[in-house]
């Protein structure tokens, strides 16, 4: 419901006097006028508990309400401030009860329409009252009208400050309207002048960076002057915004640096194998390691021999051979007398790793345990006992690995696959499982989602980064073609031809069933259509709603070539390795991100035969969707794909931060603010060495409860 802006004719009592000495990060938002427990609870949903929190809830955009436009100059679609006198106010019943208010200013008249209103509002909106209001003009049955405008009496005090500055538009939650947030931030800005909000960046650093001070920056972003460059503010590149973005990036960098220092200060078990088992593994493999694999394995081996815990991220494109490098590291740890645990994000991927490690390690007489939610009863207890006694040196599983009932005997190496799907806290929980005799395990994390170097140095500042930037010989680049869905019949014929040549194919759909809201091709509907169109082809269906045993049965049948065509949802994005599959069809490719498309494409081209990825799209796709498909056609290089993905979607999606929660930024955007990162990294070093006392309050300001990541 639209509510009137303050109708008092005097300046409100902005700050309560009882708390002048408290710093703003300790001053509860309830000290602000008009904030009771009910509103405070709603503000908590926006992450606001203190006055400082309110100051760091920054506007998402701005509106210019500093100029009054005559009603006669208004045009449909204009968002503007107008002022006029009420000529008529009446409640009408036209399909629903409405309050109509007509105002005029001599140049024309305008109708205000309220579908939701209170008796108090109706009493205020009487003939002869002069209003100042803001809203979007639209053509209506009575001429120009504005539905539910923001308004106040023209002679009342502007508690929001919209007349003296650009008007901020804030992120909101249910029950907290823009007008209320503007009034509260006006109070908070007043307290900013009176109270204590320390700038934790020392003056020499600010001078060197040529950035404004914290108080000036906050005043500017909350209340930009009328002449401010709205385009610059909208782009987030004003010096005031850059000042805050720099501080936020610095806080995240420091948090991860502290985590790294703390983890590496813990004792660990140096892993110094004789190398016999690794030699046997190499001899048993039907291929030799690439030079990139050898380089990364050497970096891992040096880390494992250290008395400080390894913290290493291995990046590698789809099919670059990360898993066998991890297996080689595991073999070294096992030969040195220790246990190894590998954690995967899904049961399907855990099962794939289980099969691979079983194939590689069984010839070396090394048993492997697979621990997922599907393992229950006596089988689960037997596996837990074998792990706890040290009888099983290699354990593979999902997040079930760090549940309370899982105990290890001598865990010295933790491997985490698809790092971006786990939070830092989950990785640390598994690490803590490995504490024995007061020592901690080494950590090796892997990702098949290549991340640009600058972003990796920021997002994974707690990790050393190794890159497998070479594909094994014999891998043929996948040819990628984008086709409109109107050519579906050609694709069906192409599948039939490939299968006749003894090959296999995937057909990927975003949804399991038809949706009324999303015009996607559903896997079950596509499965039925293809069964009818290709009666001689053996077709399977795989999606997330199948039970684990059924998923495993379908996937195993596809691997054994008992199925020719697999219709699946994006559940196959990771973990499926079928070298005989040479054709990938992706429905609604225009709706998917680059990283996901690249991962799906990586399911084919895993053998020597030429492979193809066909991207089906609908004709009405956006410009960004067209650009994504163009990138897919132009390159198979995952690092090039990742760079474009970062530019198109931003770092949140690239890093999977909805899962990790770590890199969620209030102000900064890594793609936009990438040029700040080298200075952020050097400043972090200065802060750690010269200003350590400033770090904790800086982390509390920007990261809050997530600071726990630096204390695990």
User: What distance in Å separates the CA atoms of residue 482 and residue 344, rounded to the nearest whole number?
Assistant: 32
| Position 710 confidence tier, pLDDT thresholds 50, 70, 90 | very low
- At 39 the pLDDT is 92
Number of CB atoms found within 10 A of residue 310's CB: 26
- Of 58-67, 512-521, 619-628, 645-654, where does mean pLDDT reach its minimum? 512-521
Contacts of 499 (CB under 8 A, 6+ apart): 505, 534, 537, 564, 565
Sign (positive or negative) of CA dihedral 652, 653, 655, 658:
positive
Q: Which residues of 559-593 are buried (b: 16+ CB within 10 A; e: fewer)?
A: beeebbbbbbbbbbbbbbebebbbbbbbbbbbbbe
- At 424 the pLDDT is 67
Counted residue by residue, the chain has a size of 712
From the DSSP assignment, how many helices (H) and strands (E) are in the chain?
25, 22
Phi, psi of 351 (to 5 degrees): -65, -40
712, pLDDT greater than 50: no
Q: Which class for 434: exposed (0-12), middle (13-18), buried (19 or more C-beta within 10 A)?
A: buried
**What Å distances lie between residue 218 and 98, 172, 507, 636, CA to CA?**
41, 19, 52, 44
User: What distance in Å separates the CA atoms of residue 270 and residue 308, rounded to the nearest whole number?
Assistant: 8
Confirm if 638 and 659 have CB atoms less than 8 A apart.
Answer: no
- Of 286-290, 389-393, 465-469, 603-607, where does mean pLDDT reach its minimum? 603-607
Per residue in 473-524, pLDDT tens?
A: 767 789 999 999 889 889 999 999 999 999 999 999 876 565 555 555 578 8
Q: What is the CATH number of domain 63-169?
A: 2.40.50.140
**Greater confidence, 18 or 136?**
136
- Of 234-248, 452-466, 563-577, where does mean pLDDT reach its minimum? 452-466
Average pLDDT score over residue span 525-535:
92
Q: Where in the chain is the domain with CATH 2.40.50.140?
A: 63-169
Average pLDDT score over residue span 189-195:
84
User: What distance in Å separates the CA atoms of residue 617 and residue 629, rounded to the nearest whole number?
Assistant: 9
Mean pLDDT taken over the chain: 84
Per residue in 634-688, pLDDT tens?
A: 998 887 887 787 677 555 444 443 333 345 678 888 778 878 888 998 999 999 9
User: What distance in Å separates the CA atoms of residue 328 and residue 324, rounded to the nearest whole number?
Assistant: 6
Contacts of 438 (CB under 8 A, 6+ apart): 267
**Greater confidence, 487 or 419?**
487
Average pLDDT score over residue span 49-57:
91
Per residue in 222-280, pLDDT tens?
A: 999 988 888 899 888 999 999 999 999 999 899 888 888 888 888 998 999 999 999 99
Q: What is the CATH number of domain 276-468?
A: 3.40.50.300
Strand, helix or coil for residue 48 = coil
Phi, psi of 216 (to 5 degrees): -60, -40
- At 158 the pLDDT is 64
Q: Where in the chain is the domain with CATH 3.40.50.300?
A: 276-468, 479-635
- At 620 the pLDDT is 82
Per residue in 34-44, pLDDT tens?
A: 899 999 998 98
9, pLDDT greater than 90: no
- At 525 the pLDDT is 87
Residue 60 DSSP class: S
Q: Which class for 697: exposed (0-12), middle (13-18), buried (19 or more C-beta within 10 A)?
A: middle
Strand, helix or coil for residue 214 = helix
User: What distance in Å separates the CA atoms of residue 657 and residue 591, rounded to the nearest whole number?
Assistant: 19
Confirm if 411 and 433 have CB atoms less than 8 A apart.
Answer: yes
| CATH for 479-635 (2.60.120.380, 3.40.50.2300, 3.40.50.720, 3.40.50.300) | 3.40.50.300
Sign (positive or negative) of CA dihedral 70, 71, 73, 78:
positive
User: What distance in Å separates the CA atoms of residue 558 and residue 408, rounded to the nearest whole number?
Assistant: 35
Contacts of 102 (CB under 8 A, 6+ apart): 86, 87, 88, 89, 109, 110, 111, 112, 142
312, pLDDT greater than 60: yes
Residue 421 DSSP class: G
- pTM reported for the whole predicted model: 0.67
Q: Which residues pair with 615 in a beta bridge?
A: 482, 586
Average pLDDT score over residue span 527-540:
94
DSSP codes, 568-589: E-GGGGSS---TTEEEEEETTG
Average pLDDT score over residue span 192-209:
85
- At 13 the pLDDT is 43
Confirm if 76 and 137 have CB atoms less than 8 A apart.
Answer: yes
Number of CB atoms found within 10 A of residue 542's CB: 25
């Amino acid at each position: 419901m639209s509510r009137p802006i303050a109708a008092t004719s005097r300046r409100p009592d902005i700050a309560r006097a009882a708390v002048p000495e408290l710093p703003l990060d300790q001053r509860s938002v309830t000290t602000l006028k008009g904030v009771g427990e009910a509103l405070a609870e709603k503000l908590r949903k926006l992450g606001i508990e203190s006055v400082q929190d309110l100051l760091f809830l920054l506007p998402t955009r701005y509106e210019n309400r500093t100029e009054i436009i005559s009603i006669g100059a208004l045009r449909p679609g204009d968002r503007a401030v107008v002022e006029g006198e009420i000529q008529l106010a009446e409640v009408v019943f036209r399909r629903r009860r409405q309050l109509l208010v007509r105002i005029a200013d001599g140049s024309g008249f305008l109708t205000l329409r309220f579908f939701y209103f209170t008796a108090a509002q109706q009493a205020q909106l009487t003939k002869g009252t002069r209003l100042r209001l803001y809203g979007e003009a639209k053509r209506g049955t009575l001429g120009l009208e504005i539905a539910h405008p923001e308004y106040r009496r023209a002679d009342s005090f502007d508690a929001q400050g919209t007349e003296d500055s650009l008007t901020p538009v804030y992120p909101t939650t249910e029950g907290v309207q823009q007008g209320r947030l503007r009034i509260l931030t006006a109070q908070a800005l007043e307290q900013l002048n009176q109270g204590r909000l320390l700038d934790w960046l020392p003056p020499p650093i600010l001078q060197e960076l040529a950035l404004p001070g914290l108080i000036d920056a906050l005043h500017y972003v909350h209340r930009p002057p009328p002449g401010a460059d709205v385009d610059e503010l909208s782009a987030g590149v004003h010096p005031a915004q850059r000042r805050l973005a720099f501080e936020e990036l610095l806080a995240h960098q420091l948090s991860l640096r502290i985590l790294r220092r703390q983890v590496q200060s813990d004792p660990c078990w140096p892993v110094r194998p004789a190398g016999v088992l690794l030699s046997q593994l190499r001899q048993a493999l039907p291929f030799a390691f690439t030079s990139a694999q050898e380089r990364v394995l050497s970096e891992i081996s040096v880390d494992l021999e250290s008395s400080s815990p390894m913290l290493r991220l291995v990046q590698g494109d789809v099919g670059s051979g990360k898993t066998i490098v991890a297996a080689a590291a595991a073999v070294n740890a096992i030969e040195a007398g220790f246990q190894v645990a590998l954690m995967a994000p899904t049961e399907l991927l855990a099962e794939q790793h289980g099969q691979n490690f079983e194939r590689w390690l069984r010839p070396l007489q090394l048993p492997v345990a697979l621990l997922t939610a599907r393992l229950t009863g006596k089988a689960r207890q037997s596996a837990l006992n074998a792990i706890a006694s040290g009888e099983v040196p290699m354990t593979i599983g999902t997040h079930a690995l760090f549940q309370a009932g899982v105990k290890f005997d001598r865990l010295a190496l933790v491997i985490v696959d698809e790092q971006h799907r786990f939070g830092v806290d989950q990785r640390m929980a598994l690490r803590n499982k490995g504490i024995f005799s007061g020592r901690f395990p080494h950590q090796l994390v892997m990702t098949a989602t290549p991340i640009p170097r600058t972003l990796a140095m920021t997002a994974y500042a707690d990790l050393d980064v190794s890159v497998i930037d070479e594909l094994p010989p014999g891998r043929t680049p996948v040819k990628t073609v984008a086709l409109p869905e109107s050519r579906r019949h050609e694709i069906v014929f192409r599948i039939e031809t490939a299968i006749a040549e003894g090959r296999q194919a995937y057909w990927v759909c975003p949804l399991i069933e038809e949706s009324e809201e999303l015009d996607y091709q559903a896997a079950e509907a596509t499965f039925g259509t293809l069964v009818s169109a290709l009666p001689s082809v053996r077709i399977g269906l795989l999606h997330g709603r199948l039970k684990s045993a059924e998923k495993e049965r379908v996937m195993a049948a596809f691997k054994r070539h008992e199925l020719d065509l697999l219709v699946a949802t994006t559940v196959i994005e990771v973990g499926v390795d079928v070298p005989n599959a040479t054709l990938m069809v992706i429905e609604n490719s225009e709706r998917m991100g680059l990283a996901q498309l690249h991962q799906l494409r990586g399911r084919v081209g895993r053998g020597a035969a030429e492979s193809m990825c066909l991207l089906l799209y609908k004709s009405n796709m956006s410009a960004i969707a067209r650009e994504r498909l163009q990138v897919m056609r132009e390159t198979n290089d995952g690092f090039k794909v990742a760079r474009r993905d970062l530019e198109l979607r931003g770092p949140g999606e690239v890093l999977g931060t909805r899962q990790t929660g770590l890199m969620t930024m209030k102000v900064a955007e890594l793609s936009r603010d990438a040029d700040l990162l080298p200075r952020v990294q050097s400043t972090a070093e200065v802060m750690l060495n010269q200003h350590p006392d400033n770090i904790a309050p800086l982390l509390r300001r920007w990261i809050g409860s997530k600071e726990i990541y630096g204390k695990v």
